[in-house]
Chains A and B, each alone.
Chain A
Amino acid sequence: MAHPDTATLPTKRRLFVLDDEPIVVKRLKPAFQKVGYDVFVFTDSVAALSAFEDKPADIVITDLKMKGMDGITFLERIKAISPTVGVIVITGFATLQTAKESFHKGAFDFVSKPFKLADILDVVARLEASLGSDGHAD
């Protein structure tokens, strides 16, 4: 099998994907599972925050424009809980302003939709490289 059993990999990183469009999380989940992440997906930012409060993720991929709590607020809240979490922002409304704001709030990178699967995997691999072996940024 191409995908090692989750239970056999104690060091598997937790990765959250948050986007209010189900198709985005539906497609990203298997892509990241395939490269060995423990993936949790959410279409509701409040539910994602609640899960993060219970147990923070190492990496979070979040949309910006969502109903209820928007991506920037979500980013601020999770950074407050776990400053080392690596956050990648994805959005269909990319502007220089939103990109700047995301970086200012501590996002690792900013990706405009539509994006290639390979590109988001690359961004996460770069983020991964910047994280220490304990799951925290160096």
Chain B
Amino acid sequence: MPTDRRDEALGGEAARSLFSKFRTLLEANTAALATMAVMERMLGGEYIFDRTFLEKSAREVADFTYQAVYAVNAMTGNRFVTLYDRFMAITAVVEDILTGRQQEADDDQLVRSLSQLRLEDRPQVGPEGAALGELAGQLGLFVPRGFAVTHAAWSNGNLVPEAAAAIAAALGVPPEGPPDAAMTVVVTVSGADVVTAWRKERGVPARGEDLVAALGGLARVALIELGDAAGGGRIAAAVTAEVPAILRGRIWTAWREGAEPAFLRLDVWPEDDPAARETLILDRSHPFAVQRKLPAEPVAAGPSHRGLQLSDAFTLPLAGQALAAERLLGAPLALEFCQDPTGRFVFESVRFLPQLPAAVSISSGPGEVLLSGGEVACLGAASGEVVPVDETTATTAFPFGAVAVARSASPALAPLLRRAGAMVAEVGDAAGHLAAVAREYRVPALFGLPGALTVLTPGLVVTVDAEVGLVTRGAAPSRPAPESGLSPDDPEYQNLRRLLRHIARLTLTDPNAPNFSVEGCRTLHDLLHFAHARAVDVLADLRQVGFSEHLAIPLSLPVPLDLRVLDIGGGLASGAVGLEAVRSRPLAALLAGMLVPGMWDTTPARVGLGEILGAMAKTMPETGGNLAIAARSYCNVSLRLGYHFTVIDAYIGSNPEKNSISFRYVGGLADAAGRAARAAFIRQVLARQDFKVEVTGDLVVARLKLIEPETAEEVLRLLGSLCAFARQRDTGLSNMDDARALQRLFFEIRERSLAQQEKKA
């Protein structure tokens, strides 16, 4: 490509300046991600931290984000100046949290949807709404649709005039319920941490005036009951749609009748016959053995009932879910639930109970030590039967509350953690994705315990105590929150979660989605991600800033991959044109993987007319061809191979906390079943490498972070092989069996080729 005059003028120094700004952005991005990772690890309770740490970390991420925003504007002639406004708005919220003002965007709302709420919203929405939101949002438990009437909606014990309109508006918006539905109202009056009054009314008509009357009435009763103690109490309420039920029940997660230890109590009755109530007293640990049953004989109540005959299939999931809720919320609970006609358990209300006295809750003397050491992914202790798991374990087959034992702490196991009472893995560390998920669900987890699968045999009852790094034989009474861990009640825990919500949450994931915009940036992580994506766009299309593309050097490779490399510093050695020219550590690994013999199939793809027509109906991402932006520790590679568009963005340095690989794969010729099978094939391959994978239609997005540099290279070599392999071979897929067969073929060919390569070497 001939060099134009503009390039000569701009080339050299201007290009170096542009690349330097990009590197600044990159460094800010990776440093911010590393700091976020450290903050996130604090949730696990293993670390002691203080306010100074939170202030320092949050401001550090903000500084790095500012550098990224500045850099992308410097690269684009200030095309994204409004990013500064978003930055200021988000950092103002972060500062408010740090200084204790805690003014967030939603704080002045009088009514908030339950599905949006989390535990850290408790001061604004009360314990009931925050708990229901947390159970649904974090654990995926079913809760009724509804909304919270926030603390801001009350003044001197009464609803403010504007609240009525807000409640009516919330009712009018589907899917909060049809106008003739009945609602349940729970009003709480809380002190700083402790609920002091809880009042509930069922069967309130779903009309604004009825709800306002019920809310006002319940609040008055609660305040009268509290008397002088009500002074300074915060009123809030949860309003939920009543669920059609066949059975109703109540669970106390820590029930004591004078003597220790505490048990789990389960009361159940038919919806149409409350008198036919049955009570089970169960162990507080998996497999939740029944200790007592009341009444001893089934009550023949009503013509259609011959006792409830509660089976394990009914009680065990309920017990497991209740204890998972207790762990997540950090306190003993009284939960009200119902079973709807489809058989689902719906948790309708959550009441926090006083913590167990230490004498009851502290674990008893440990049994025989089976394993010790490992890394603490999440503090806590739990007992249960051992269930070995791997990536093929069906989530629905995993018993609630059991102890999951795995070879590797793969992110593919994340869904199991919603059910597991504790988790042990032979390989893995506290920095990985699965560890983060364990912290999210507050599941006690120890990773890096070699021999776990051998020692912890299926069905053996063990206690995992992450606090002391032991797995012991037998069950031990557990407590809702670790003794020296960070309790969900601690303001520091809630502040950390609030900060992470505005700093580390990533809400922009798809660069092609409509909300991938400046206005769509809601967190510092969003700003970093957006700035990085736009900066990459600039380098991928240098014409935007006045360069021709001749700066990208064609690379000569033994496969027909028309790849140009834009060296932004240390990516290429001068004077060479082949693979030996590549100095970029991640790019070299990726290309080495592509060149593994057998991966690059040159046979034309078998494509049917239907597949071609299917592809024509889709909009393919625009691309300037195959381009690698490369620095010594970084590469961003855009590939159009076959009919697929792939982007790999990778950073490999010496600090694992800064290392990351992201992978996007979209397009291809196939019908809907074929595309689903292709996505499944790629997801299976990536999940084996511990990627966190999300599949949306055609689009596969995968991320891997916090990895040792050698592991990152190995993974990139595999990604290179995958890109080459998937280029032609995924067109014939039509179902999930094909996907599994292709996955086997991929690994067989690759492993055979690597073995041959090794032999030759």
Q: Interface residues, chain A, CB within 8 Å of chain B? A: 1-3, 19, 21, 23-24, 26-31, 34, 65, 90, 92-93, 113-118, 120
A21-B50, A30-B484 known; 13 other A-B pairs, CB under 8 Å?
A: A1-B362, A21-B51, A27-B484, A29-B484, A30-B483, A34-B467, A34-B484, A65-B52, A92-B52, A113-B49, A113-B52, A114-B48, A118-B376
B366 within 8 A of A: yes
Q: How far is the CA of A22 from the CA of B602 in the complex (A)?
A: 66
Q: Which of B366-396 contact A (CB under 8 A)?
A: 366, 376, 379
Chain A residues near B53 (CB, 8 Å)? 92, 113-114
B271 within 8 A of A: no
In the complex, the chain B residue whose C-beta lies closest to that of A93 is: B52
In the complex, the chain B residue whose C-beta lies closest to that of A33 is: B483
Chain A residues near B48 (CB, 8 Å)? 24, 27-28, 90, 113-117, 120
Of B27-35, B238-246, B485-493, B632-640, the stretch lying at the interface with chain A is B485-493
Chain B residues near A19 (CB, 8 Å)? 50
Contact A1 to B56, CB < 8 A, known contacts A113-B49, A117-B48: no
In whole Å, how far is A72's beta carbon from the nearest beta carbon of chain B?
17
Q: How far is the CA of A92 from the CA of B48 in the complex (A)?
A: 11
Tell me which of B48, B379, B485, B490 has the highest count of chain A C-beta atoms within 10 A of its own C-beta.
B48
Contact A117 to B47, CB < 8 A, known contacts A2-B362, A2-B364, A23-B492: yes
Q: Which of B447-488 contact A (CB under 8 A)?
A: 467-469, 483-486
Chain A residues near B492 (CB, 8 Å)? 23
Q: Are A113 and B362 in contact (CB under 8 A)?
A: no
Tell me which of A1, A29, A115 has the highest count of chain B C-beta atoms within 10 A of its own C-beta.
A1
29 example contacts (A-B, Cβ-Cβ < 8 A) are as follows A1-B364, A1-B365, A2-B363, A2-B366, A3-B362, A23-B492, A24-B50, A27-B48, A27-B485, A27-B486, A28-B484, A30-B484, A31-B483, A31-B484, A34-B468, A34-B484, A92-B53, A93-B52, A113-B48, A113-B52, A114-B47, A114-B53, A116-B376, A117-B47, A117-B467, A117-B484, A118-B46, A118-B469, A120-B48
Q: How far is the CA of A90 from the CA of B50 in the complex (A)?
A: 11
Chain B residues near A2 (CB, 8 Å)? 362-366
In whole Å, how far is B7's beta carbon from the nearest beta carbon of chain A?
49
In the complex, the chain A residue whose C-beta lies closest to that of B495 is: A23
Q: How far is the CA of A92 from the CA of B51 in the complex (A)?
A: 9
Chain A residues near B42 (CB, 8 Å)? 114
In whole Å, how far is A80's beta carbon from the nearest beta carbon of chain B?
27
Q: How far is the CA of A27 from the CA of B56 in the complex (A)?
A: 21
Contact A117 to B483, CB < 8 A, known contacts A2-B366, A23-B490, A92-B56: no
Q: How far is the CA of A25 from the CA of B429 in the complex (A)?
A: 28
Q: How far is the CA of A23 from the CA of B484 in the complex (A)?
A: 10
B259 within 8 A of A: no
B609 within 8 A of A: no
B359 within 8 A of A: yes
In the complex, the chain B residue whose C-beta lies closest to that of A35 is: B468
In whole Å, how far is A92's beta carbon from the nearest beta carbon of chain B?
4
Chain B residues near A23 (CB, 8 Å)? 50, 486, 490-492
Chain A residues near B362 (CB, 8 Å)? 1-3
Tell me which of B49, B359, B469, B491 has the highest count of chain A C-beta atoms within 10 A of its own C-beta.
B49
Chain A residues near B46 (CB, 8 Å)? 116-118
Contact A92 to B483, CB < 8 A, known contacts A1-B362, A2-B363, A2-B365: no
Q: How far is the CA of A120 from the CA of B485 in the complex (A)?
A: 14
Q: What 4 pairs between A and B have smallest CB-CB spacing?
A: A92-B52, A114-B49, A31-B484, A30-B483
Q: Are B50 and A113 in contact (CB under 8 A)?
A: yes
Q: How far is the CA of A29 from the CA of B48 in the complex (A)?
A: 12
In the complex, the chain A residue whose C-beta lies closest to that of B482 is: A30
Chain A residues near B376 (CB, 8 Å)? 116, 118
Chain B residues near A120 (CB, 8 Å)? 48
Q: How far is the CA of A2 from the CA of B48 in the complex (A)?
A: 23
In the complex, the chain A residue whose C-beta lies closest to that of B39 is: A114
Q: Are B359 and A1 in contact (CB under 8 A)?
A: yes
Q: How far is the CA of A34 from the CA of B361 in the complex (A)?
A: 13
Chain B residues near A65 (CB, 8 Å)? 52
In the complex, the chain A residue whose C-beta lies closest to that of B484 is: A31
In whole Å, how far is B361's beta carbon from the nearest beta carbon of chain A?
11
Tell me which of A31, A65, A117 has the highest count of chain B C-beta atoms within 10 A of its own C-beta.
A117
Q: How far is the CA of A63 from the CA of B491 in the complex (A)?
A: 20
Chain A residues near B359 (CB, 8 Å)? 1
Q: Which of B47-79 contact A (CB under 8 A)?
A: 47-53, 56
Chain A residues near B379 (CB, 8 Å)? 117
In whole Å, how far is B366's beta carbon from the nearest beta carbon of chain A?
7
Chain B residues near A115 (CB, 8 Å)? 47-48
In whole Å, how far is A30's beta carbon from the nearest beta carbon of chain B?
4
Chain B residues near A116 (CB, 8 Å)? 46-48, 376
Q: How far is the CA of A116 from the CA of B466 in the complex (A)?
A: 13
Chain B residues near A21 (CB, 8 Å)? 50-51
Chain A residues near B47 (CB, 8 Å)? 114-117
In the complex, the chain A residue whose C-beta lies closest to that of B38 is: A114
Q: How far is the CA of A76 from the CA of B249 in the complex (A)?
A: 61
Q: How far is the CA of A103 from the CA of B359 in the complex (A)?
A: 39
Q: How far is the CA of A113 from the CA of B48 in the complex (A)?
A: 7
Chain A residues near B483 (CB, 8 Å)? 30-31, 34
Q: How far is the CA of A2 from the CA of B365 in the complex (A)?
A: 5
In whole Å, how far is B245's beta carbon from the nearest beta carbon of chain A?
41
Q: How far is the CA of A29 from the CA of B42 in the complex (A)?
A: 18
In whole Å, how far is B56's beta carbon from the nearest beta carbon of chain A?
7
Chain B residues near A28 (CB, 8 Å)? 48, 484
In whole Å, how far is A35's beta carbon from the nearest beta carbon of chain B?
9
Q: How far is the CA of A2 from the CA of B358 in the complex (A)?
A: 11
In whole Å, how far is A94's beta carbon from the nearest beta carbon of chain B?
11
In the complex, the chain B residue whose C-beta lies closest to that of A26 is: B490
Chain B residues near A3 (CB, 8 Å)? 362
Chain B residues near A93 (CB, 8 Å)? 52
Tell me which of A3, A21, A114, A118 has the highest count of chain B C-beta atoms within 10 A of its own C-beta.
A114
Q: How far is the CA of A92 from the CA of B47 in the complex (A)?
A: 13
Q: Are B50 and A92 in contact (CB under 8 A)?
A: yes
